[in-house]
Structure 1
């Protein structure tokens, strides 16, 4: 292996991979100054497993050559950038080399589309297959399902990868046609259906045959670019909700549009708005996945965009003050979850603890609630002087002011969900 050339490829293809956020990255820059490990190597990112462990991954593209000309993509065929491509053997060698040095615990491998979808997908599968079969690699592998690839290749990929993902790219089909005219939505949906069907079949067969081969055990995910087209937030979270409900999606990722190319079909937009909007979409996503909210509860036709000033849970509460205050001793779990400042774990602790005692503010603090926010929405049996603000027009400003005071020394965009 030519070390200098491989290093150059790694820098190019790791940099190109950074725009894919369906593998969460910590952006770590810590170098090894005599200790163990090194997170400064090109392509290292971090994600989290289902049990909460943080896993370091080698995150790269197989190639940034691409036959498509998607307007928003840095790797579009008409963009004048430095191109590179790994061989299957180079990716395998890099993964094993990084793993042995304790840099990584797995691989996130995507690619531009060169020649055609099947050729690209076949090489991605060969990487995973060689790692598993020839090197007995048991680390985490995340592969991109290439839209338009044959069903057989997608099925084979799921036998070797822990997770597969297909980027939905633009939330709506009309937006996709505008910015990526070479692509079509059906090619993106078909791999998702194959993986969904295979996962369900695996679960059914596992009940009968314990040794049935694993099939994408970590599920599948997708990503949407936010802000490149004119979809509102209601449309975006409805699309996400649709994929959670109908495709068994593990995660939907939101990538705030970054103007990496210039084209009059793309919006001229400041850096601040996409980051904040992306943050609010993730918070809404969390509400749908873990808090029992429906997309049309979070937003509606009268309010199609998320409030950038407050998080979506607080925004919902402020618009539905008629459902508050909540009595913690009698309210059901679903309603307790909707109190601003109370998360899933705290809500479960409340339901468990209230059987043995009458809860007060001190109890809530010990249970982990953010009482500076929650106190305005709870009816304690002994009374609550903060309830007078429930009908106060300044309640919103009061809560925002308290939050700003508490976090005034932190970054202004470091927003908390609860």
Structure 2
């Protein structure tokens, strides 16, 4: 690799590190001939890890970090004095192919600052994906970050070559976007998401028609750049999941940037806040919780940094516990701290054949110690939780308490 290209890669890979939404979950493999470049051969590509536990690597870069916009929270904003670089389309194609052939990556995540116009930038992103697919037969994973201000026809074309598309919602509240990114429009972003959802659903119904973003769409939200509390963040996520069929909302803790505006916080939020939001997000999507229920376990709208949100909810609702592992509905078992969805499904299947003991639950769940105070089994009945003043202290991991200090 020549020195000029190496410099571009260094600058634009570093510039892309702030984008958390480079996941590839649920992307089916692209059907191609036996020699299709990048075909995933069985296991497919998924978020962070394949089903067999392999770590999946994506080439994650920006096409350019030049940008017409001046969003005050963005390190690549127009007024920023960061080092700038710009790839040519054929350079991104060559890097992707060379890295793939060397087994460094299994796919590409490509985003960009806005240059010339949104349409021009979107055309360049599409050209990368189209060249990889049509000229080089690349069948690896491609995720394109789309530009809501671009023509709908261009976003339509992008979906024909990308496994996943994403549009950043940017911030959890529309008023924050007006203050911190006045050149962007909340309605325009949501409108682009809505059109994308319609096209994804149409492609699924057509079945034999052209594939369109088969792994769906995702978004990213910056946390801690404005005054929105965790409940407000989760309400926005819940609205996006229900209204726009998003596969994932990604949370990115605000990171202080050079020469930052005085309207931004001086310090980054604790990284543990980002982690708690992901846990709460999981409760919304897979555990039957509502935002109001999660908010009921918060203090001032903020998730507890010392304990996970499911445990926080359980401790606030001790009157709902303990539950009988041999009789309780699946929905209630999902609310037991320490029991994941897979463990609950195993419990429901196993109890059809025998009355489960605490040891049986331990074989089905790796976190039985946390679940024990909340469960009744054939050989175990805990004392009333309302009488256990020290329960929180017993269940909070020491490591979590240490992490919350940073």
- How many residue pairs match? The answer is 382
**Which structure 2 residue ranges, 5 or more long, are not aligned?**
25-46
Asked if 1:232 is matched to 2:233, the reply is no
**1:47 counterpart SS class:** coil
SS in 1 for 2:392: helix
Q: How does 1:329-368 map to 2 (within 5 A)?
A: 329-368=326-365
Alignment of 1:121-160 (within 5 A): 121-160=122-161
Change (3 A) 1:20 1:302: closer
Counting only pairs closer than 5 Å after superposition, residues 54-133 of structure 1 correspond to structure 2 as 54-133=55-134
TM-score, structure 2 normalization: 0.90
Kept in 2, the 8 Å contact 1:63–1:85? The answer is yes
Task: Indicate if the aligned counterparts of 1:117 and 1:146 stay in contact, CA closer than 8 A.
Answer: yes
Query: Is the 2:218–2:248 Cα contact (8 Å) retained in structure 1?
Result: yes
CA 24–200 in structure 1, closer or farther in 2 if over 3 Å, else same? closer
Q: 1:282 aligns with which of 254, 278, 281?
A: 278
Give 3-state SS (helix, strand or coil) of 1:96's partner: helix
* C-alpha distance in 2 between matches for 1:150 and 1:51: 40
- What's the CA shift for 1:49? 5.8
Shift of 1:189: 1.6
Name the stretch that deviates more: 168-177 or 292-301.
Answer: 292-301
Asked if the contact 2:321–2:385 (Cα under 8 Å) also holds between the matched residues in 1, the reply is no
Superposed displacement of residue 21, structure 1: 0.6
Residue-by-residue CA offset, 1:273-296 (whole Å, 9 max, x unaligned): 430111100000011111111111
- Structure 1, residues 291-324: CA drift from partner, whole Å, max 9, x if none? 1111111004974111112100000001111111
- Contact 1:221/1:249 (<8 A) preserved: yes
Shift in Å, 1:391:
2.6
Instruction: Name the counterpart of 1:304.
Output: 301
Q: Deviations over 1:242-273 (max 9, x none)?
A: 1111111011000011101321100122x5x4
Asked if the contact 1:379/1:387 (under 8 Å) is kept, the reply is no
For the pair 1:316 / 2:317, whether they are aligned, the reply is: no
Secondary structure of 2:323 counterpart: coil
Contact persistence 2:126–2:157 (CA under 8 A): yes
Structure 2 CA distance, aligned partners of 1:97 and 1:414?
Answer: 42
Contact 1:377 1:387 in 2 (8 A): no
1:413 to 400, 403, 406: 403
**Does 2:34 align with 1:21?**
no
Q: How much has 1:48 moved relative to structure 2?
A: 4.2
CA distance in 1 between counterparts of 2:388 and 2:353 reads 34
Q: Distance in 2 between matches of 1:383 and 1:92?
A: 61
Query: Are 2:322 and 1:325 equivalent residues in the alignment?
Result: yes
Distance 1:141 1:50, change over 3 A: farther
SS in 2 for 1:352: helix
Q: Retained in 2: the 8 A contact 1:244–1:250?
A: yes
- CA drift at 1:110: 0.2
Match of 2:41 in 1: none
The corresponding residue for 2:31 is: none
- 1:302-358 CA-partner distances (Å, limit 9, x unpaired): 741111121000000011111111011111101011100100111001101111111
Q: By how many angstroms is 1:393 displaced?
A: 2.1
Taking the aligned partners of 2:385 and 2:318, their CA distance within structure 1 comes to: 11
**Aligned-pair CA distance for 1:191:** 2.3
1:383/1:368 CA distance change after superposition, 3 Å: closer
**Structure 1, residues 358-382: CA drift from partner, whole Å, max 9, x if none?**
1111101111241211111112244
* 1:221-241 C-alpha deviation (Å, 9 max, x unpaired): 000000000001111001001
Whole-Å separation in 2 of the counterparts to 1:110 and 1:92: 14
| RMSD between aligned residues | 2.2
Runs of 5+ consecutive residues of structure 1 not aligned to the other structure: 26-45
C-alpha separation in 1, matches of 2:240 and 2:52: 23
Asked if the contact 2:322/2:385 (under 8 Å) is kept, the reply is no
Shift of 1:397: 1.5
- TM-score between both structures, scaled by the size of structure 1: 0.87
Q: Distance between the aligned counterparts of 2:355 and 2:100, measured in 1?
A: 53
For residues 109-128 of structure 1, what are the alpha-carbon distances to aligned partners after superposition, in whole Å with 9 as ceiling and x for unaligned? 00000111100001000100
Shift of 1:390: 4.0
TM-fit CA distance, 1:412 = 3.8
